[in-house]
C-alpha cells in the first residue's frame, strides 16, 4: 500500500552515528541459534577509520532493531556507521543522489524507485557473484534476483539490489478452536478452500470476513486478493507483464482473477454482513469477526501485520493461527507462489565498507539477530529457522523459504495513478456489482491516459 509522505528533507539530516563499540543484543558465542562463525569471519575485515552511511526506511522501533543488527558489523569490523531515515525517504534519496551527495547504502522498499535510480546511473551494480548467491541461497531465488535487476543508463540489465527483510501476504487467518469444534481442516489446495467455503455455508456459518475500508486508500486490500489469485491462475511472467502494462488490465487472465475475487466478495452467503458490508468495513476491523461467539466468520485473508488488530490478549498459535493461501491443484505447474513485499539494499556510493556490508548481508547472522527479536522474515535458506522469536514467525519463514515463486505487491509496482488510484477505486466498483470486464476496462483507460 502506498503511503502519503509528510515531512521534509530536514529530518534526513538528523543522522546520528552509531557508536564505535556498542552493547550487543546477544553476546557472541552464548546463543546456539546463531551462526557465530560469521562474527569471527567479520573480524577479519578491517574497516577501522572508515565511515559507512546508510539511508533506510526504518524509524522508531524498527530503527532500534536494525541498529541492533548493525552493531555486530560495527563491533567486528571497527567501522563507524551513520544511519539516517526520513518519513519522506523516497523523495530524499532522489534529492541526495541527484545532488551528488548520496549515502553509501540506500535501503528502499520500492523496486520502481530503484529502477529509476539505476536508469539514471545513480546505483552501483552489485555484480554477478552476488546475484548468483541470491539465486542459490534464497527460496524462489530467481524471483529475488529478478526483483533486484534493473536497466542501467545504457539500457543494460544488471543486478543492483540485495533483498533483505521480506513481508508475507499470502496468508489466511482462522481460529483453531472454531475449526476444531466444527470439524474443519486446513485446506491444502484452492479447491479444498472452495469446498471448505461451501461447507461452512452448508453448516449455517459464514466463511469470510472481508473489509476494504481504509479512508482515502479504501479498496487496497482487494488488490492483494487479486494479485494472490493471479499468481495461482496464471504464470508469473503474465503477472509481470500485467504490472508493467505489457498486457492490458482487461487481459483475460486479469479479468479471470477479478472474477474469482468477485465471486467470493459479492456472495452474500460468503461474507460477513453480505456484499454491502465489504467496502463499508474498515480492514482493521474485519478480522474481529473471527473471534465472536459464535464467530461471524471463519476465514480472513490478510498479510502478517493484521494480527496487530486482533483483540487484546490474543495469543497467536493458540487463539488465532494462519495457513498459506493454497495453490490450485488444477495448476500444478505454478507451484507454491507467494505474494509479498520487502526492502532492497543498493550501493549508491561505492566503498570498501559498502561492499563489506553487502557481504555481511549474505551471512545468516545478519538475519538471525533481527529474526530473534521479531519483525524480520527472510527467504535466506542458510539461516537457522530456530532463531525466529516465535513459532508463528518460523512458520512464515518456512513459507518464504519453500516458495517456488515470489512476487512483489503488484499495485506497488504500477504507476501511482493506477496502483494507488484506479486499481483501488475499481475494486470498490467490483464489489458494488460492476462486472469484472468493465472494471478492468476502466482501469486500463486510466492507464492509457497517463501515457
Q: Which residues pair with 345 in a beta bridge?
A: 107, 162
- Please check whether residue 260 lies inside any domain of the structure: yes
Mean pLDDT of the region 175-179: 98
Give the neighbor-by-neighbor strand order of the sheet with 300-301. 300-301, 171-174, 321-324
- Write the secondary structure of 114-128 as one string of H (helix), E (strand) and C (coil): HHHHHHCCCCECCCH
pLDDT score at 264: 98
Could you tell me where the DSSP H helices lie in 148-301? 176-182, 190-202, 220-233, 236-243, 252-265, 275-280
* Cis omega (within 30 of 0) for bond into 294: yes
pLDDT value at 220 more than 50: yes
C-alpha span between 150 and 117 (Å, rounded): 9
Clarify whether residues 124 and 215 are in a common domain. no
The percentage of residues in the chain with a pLDDT greater than 90, rounded to a whole number, is 94
Q: According to the model, what pLDDT value does residue 23 have?
A: 87
Look at the chain and report how many structural domains it folds into.
Answer: 2
For residues 63-91, give the mean pLDDT: 96
Residue 8 has pLDDT above 50, yes or no: no
| Residue 364 belongs to some domain of the structure | yes
379 exposure class (CB count in 10 Å sphere: 0-12, 13-18, 19+) = buried
Pairing of strands 171-174, 105-108: unpaired
Q: Confirm whether 4 is domain-assigned.
A: no
CATH number at residue 350: 3.40.190.10
Query: Which residues are within 8 A (CB) of 32 and not within 5 positions of it... i.e. 6 or more apart?
Result: none
Please give the average per-residue pLDDT across 406-419, as a whole number.
96
Regarding whether 403 and 353 lie in a shared domain, the answer is yes
Whether 2 is in a domain gets the answer no
Instruction: Write the pLDDT tens digit of every residue in 313-337.
Output: 999 999 999 999 999 999 999 999 9
Pairing of strands 337-347, 405-408: parallel
Cβ-count burial 255-286 (b if 16+ within 10 Å, e if not): bbbbbbbbebbbeeebbbbebebbbebebeeb
- What is the Cα–Cα distance from 7 to 371, expressed in whole angstroms? 30
Mean pLDDT of the chain: 94
Percent of the chain whose pLDDT exceeds 70: 95
Whether the CB-CB separation of 371 and 34 falls below 8 Å is answered with no
Which contiguous run of DSSP H or E holds residue 442? helix 436-449
Work out the average pLDDT over 91-118. 96
The reported pLDDT for the residue numbered 22 is 63
User: Which residues partner with 53 through β-bridges?
Assistant: 82
Residue 202: is it exposed, middle or buried by C-beta count within 10 angstroms (0-12/13-18/19+)?
exposed
Residues 198, 79 share a domain = no
* 7: pLDDT strictly greater than 50: no
pLDDT at 13 over 80: no
Same domain, 141 and 259: no
Mean pLDDT of 100-105: 97
Of 122, 330, 301, 153, residue with least CA distance to 228:
301
* Contact present, 261 and 226 (Cβ < 8 Å): yes
User: Is residue 122 domain-shared with residue 207, that is, in the same domain?
Assistant: no
Neighbours of 59 (CB within 10 A): 14
Q: Domain for residue 3, yes or no?
A: no
- Judge whether 350 and 124 are in contact, CB under 8 Å: yes
pLDDT at 303: 96
Per-residue pLDDT for 232 more than 60?
Answer: yes
pLDDT of residue 6: 30
Using CA atoms, how far apart are residues 396 and 369, in angstroms rounded to an integer? 17
Task: Provide the domain limits for residue 297.
Answer: 171-336+411-449
User: Is residue 316 domain-shared with residue 441, that is, in the same domain?
Assistant: yes
Question: Within this chain, do residues 164 and 206 fall inside the same structural domain, yes or no?
Answer: no
> Do 161 and 176 sit in the same domain of this protein?
no
Question: pTM for this one?
Answer: 0.93
What sections of 18-88 are H helices per DSSP?
Answer: 36-42, 60-77
Q: Tell me, yes or no, whether 20 and 101 share the same domain.
A: yes
Residue 347 lies in a domain: yes
According to the model, what pLDDT value does residue 375 have? 87
Give the mean pLDDT of 344-363. Answer: 98
78-162-354 Cα angle (round to 5): 30
Strands 51-55 and 105-108: parallel
Nearest to 109 by CA among 408, 441, 311: 408
Please tell me whether residues 21 and 77 are part of one structural domain. yes
Say if CB 258 and CB 430 are below 8 A apart.
yes
On whether both 241 and 116 belong to a single domain, the answer is no
In a domain, 68, yes or no: yes
d(CA 269, CA 275) in angstroms, rounded, equals: 9
261 with 398, same domain: the answer is no
Amino acid at each position: 500500500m502506498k503511503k502519503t509522505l509528510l515531512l521534509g528533507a530536514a529530518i534526513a539530516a538528523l543522522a546520528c552515528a552509531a557508536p564505535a563499540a556498542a552493547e550487543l543484543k546477544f553476546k557472541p558465542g552464548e546463543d546456539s541459534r546463531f551462526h557465530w562463525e560469521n562474527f569471527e569471519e567479520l573480524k577479519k575485515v578491517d574497516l577501522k577509520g572508515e565511515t559507512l552511511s546508510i539511508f533506510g526506511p526504518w524509524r522508531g522501533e524498527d530503527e532500534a532493531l536494525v541498529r541492533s543488527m548493525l552493531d555486530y558489523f560495527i563491533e567486528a569490523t571497527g567501522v563507524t556507521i551513520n544511519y539516517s531515515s526520513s518519513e519522506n525517504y523516497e523523495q530524499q534519496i532522489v534529492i541526495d543522489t541527484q545532488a551528488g551527495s548520496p549515502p553509501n547504502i540506500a535501503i528502499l522498499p520500492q523496486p520502481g524507485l530503484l529502477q529509476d535510480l539505476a536508469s539514471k546511473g545513480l546505483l552501483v551494480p552489485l555484480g554477478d557473484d552476488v546475484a548468483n548467491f541470491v539465486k542459490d541461497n534464497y527460496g524462489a531465488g530467481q524471483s529475488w534476483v529478478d526483483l533486484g535487476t534493473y536497466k542501467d543508463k545504457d539500457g543494460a540489465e544488471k543486478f543492483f539490489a540485495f533483498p533483505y527483510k521480506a513481508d508475507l501476504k499470502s496468508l489466511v487467518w482462522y481460529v483453531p478452536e472454531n475449526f476444531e469444534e466444527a470439524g474443519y481442516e486446513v485446506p491444502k489446495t484452492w479447491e479444498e478452500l472452495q469446498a471448505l467455503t461451501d461447507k461452512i455455508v452448508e453448516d449455517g456459518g459464514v466463511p469470510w470476513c472481508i473489509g476494504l475500508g481504509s479512508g482515502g486508500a479504501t479498496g487496497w486490500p482487494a488488490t492483494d486478493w487479486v494479485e494472490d489469485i493471479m499468481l495461482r491462475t496464471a504464470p508469473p511472467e503474465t503477472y509481470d507483464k500485467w504490472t508493467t502494462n505489457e498486457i492490458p488490465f482487461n487481459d483475460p487472465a486479469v479479468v479471470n482473477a477479478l472474477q474469482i475475487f468477485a465471486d467470493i466478495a459479492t456472495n452474500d452467503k460468503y461474507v460477513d454482513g453480505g456484499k454491502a458490508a465489504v467496502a463499508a468495513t474498515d480492514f482493521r476491523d474485519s478480522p474481529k469477526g473471527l473471534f465472536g461467539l459464535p464467530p461471524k466468520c471463519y476465514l480472513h485473508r490478510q498479510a502478517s501485520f493484521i494480527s496487530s488488530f486482533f483483540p487484546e490478549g490474543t495469543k497467536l498459535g493458540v487463539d488465532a493461527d494462519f495457513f498459506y493461501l493454497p495453490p490450485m491443484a488444477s495448476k500444478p505447474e505454478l507451484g507454491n507462489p507467494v505474494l509479498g513485499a520487502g526492502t532492497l539494499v543498493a550501493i549508491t556510493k561505492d566503498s570498501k565498507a559498502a561492499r563489506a556490508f553487502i557481504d555481511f548481508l549474505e551471512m545468516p547472522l545478519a538475519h538471525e539477530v533481527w529474526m530473534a527479536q521479531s519483525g524480520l522474515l527472510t527467504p535466506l535458506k542458510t539461516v537457522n529457522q530456530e532463531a525466529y522469536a516465535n513459532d508463528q514467525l518460523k512458520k512464515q519463514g518456512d513459507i518464504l523459504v519453500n516458495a517456488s515463486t515470489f512476487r512483489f505487491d503488484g499495485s506497488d509496482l504500477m504507476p501511482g495513478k493506477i496502483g494507488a488510484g484506479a486499481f483501488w477505486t475499481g475494486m470498490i466498483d467490483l464489489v458494488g456489482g460492476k462486472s469484472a470486464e468493465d472494471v478492468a476496462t476502466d482501469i486500463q483507460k486510466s492507464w492509457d491516459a497517463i501515457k
